[in-house]
A = this chain, B = another copy of it.
Amino acid sequence: MTIRRFCCSFCFLASVALNLFFVISPYYLSDWKKQKLSNWAEEAAAEAEAVALISCSGHGRAYLDGVVVDGKPVCECNTCYTGPDCSLLNPDCAADVNSGDPLFLEPFWMQHAASSAVVVAGWHRMSYTFSDHSYISQELENHIRRVHAVARNAITKGKHLIFGGGSTQLLAAAVYALSINLSSPAEVVAAVPAYPVYKTQTDFFQNTHFEYDGDALLLKNSSDTTANVIEFVTSPNNPDGNLREAVVPQGASVTAIYDHAYYWPHFTAIPAAADEDVMIFTISKLTGHAGSRIGWAFVKDEGVYQKMQSYIEEAELGISREAQLRALKLMKTILHADGREIFEYAHKKMSDRWRKLSDIVSLSRRFSIQEVPSLFCNFFEKVRGPSPAYAWFKCERNEDKNCTAVLRAANIIGRPGSRFSVEDRYVRLSLLKSDDDFNLLLLRLDKLVNQDDDANTI
């Protein structure tokens, strides 16, 4: 009996002791763990998570480097939303679909928060160069090539890769590289409607080796085989989404720069992998990270590649290592599993937007948008319909010569046709912006078309 009581007491005491151990140990263990793992990055993680938890009603978000009020960053609201938590919609606010800001992909990255976050250590890549003496992360280069292989949109093998400050800087670098050794200045051309930066940049940098010469279509039947011509070919085209080929007859003194910013399954069928000598892409239209200022070019010719490299080096000694590190993390997220998710997501979103917009415009005789043919897509391995980045909106009535003004009166801000070197009867409407911007566009456009319809009925 005594032995049994002793056993009982012992078991009880042991159990209580075990309880005590469980209660006390977490404190000691956590300290031990802290030292062991040298958890210097946890503070940064907690800080980022705290900012992400600031509620902005789904119509904005707070950023780690946002303006601080009362010790924490404030909400930065989407256009037309205000208030401390972005919950107030300004009812008279215009639908601003002017810029190509690719915020339509923001929800994708919020859904992939854990896999796309990256820590920049205080001592990360302080040097001017990587350890191979280049300005380029070899890992990032490899991952970009793999993303192209998944998208089946470009043949990258046998081509040099170079990074620039967005595709913007690479456009200038390519013009420089293709013109620097010419005996007479190169005429830089692009078929209209054309992305305005080709002209503004060429004019702005006022170099003795090149000058902007307008519409490439004017040289289509040119018999002058001696002039040095550099043709920008934007495919799909900005603003109208058409797949394009060079129009200036190719010859010894004619070269082409292919701007493939939008050549992703998001925006177009991919009939074949692009394989031109100079091809330019940008992270902005692939992942939606316009703010990163990362573009890349694939260049076949060693000499042209070297000259473009020199341009980037002379301009700013390569691009930010933080942007490269972050881009690598985004590429890794994209390539997770079979790498198809972002393309399927983006294509679905852009197709849905196009369908909704088309449904509204199709009710109108006063307005139209471009036709985009269905084509077989190498990525989806089937014929697929349109999902362009922009609507190329046209006012059909003779008197509506200034279509931007017609839309502006209906509280819609688009980009006038004259910016793309065509008449102002056309307006570019961006379909790339946030859900809020797009929904407001639909609302305003629906009202305009119905008003118009009423007017017609009356």
Contacts and interface: CB of A to CB of B under 8 A. Distances in A.
A119 interface: yes
Interface string A35-51: 00111111111111100
A411 interface: no
A217 B68 CA distance: 48
Contact of A49 (B40, B105, B329, B333): B40
Contacts of A317: 165-166, 168, 290, 293
A12 B17 CA distance: 12
Interface string A180-215: 000000000000000000001100111111000000
A326 to B, nearest CB: 5
Contact of A323 (B45, B122, B322, B329): B322
Contacts of A292: 320-322
Interface stretch (A123-131, A232-240, A440-448): A123-131
A403 interface: no
A405 to B, nearest CB: 22
B291 A320 contact: yes
Interface stretch (A106-114, A350-358, A388-396): A106-114
B99 A126 contact: no
Of A76, A121, A317, which is in contact with the most chain B CB atoms at under 10 Å from its CB?
A: A121
Nearest to A43: B114
Contacts of A229: none
Given A40-B113, A168-B315, A200-B314, A138 B67 contact: yes
A40 B117 contact: yes
A93 interface: no
A106 B118 contact: no
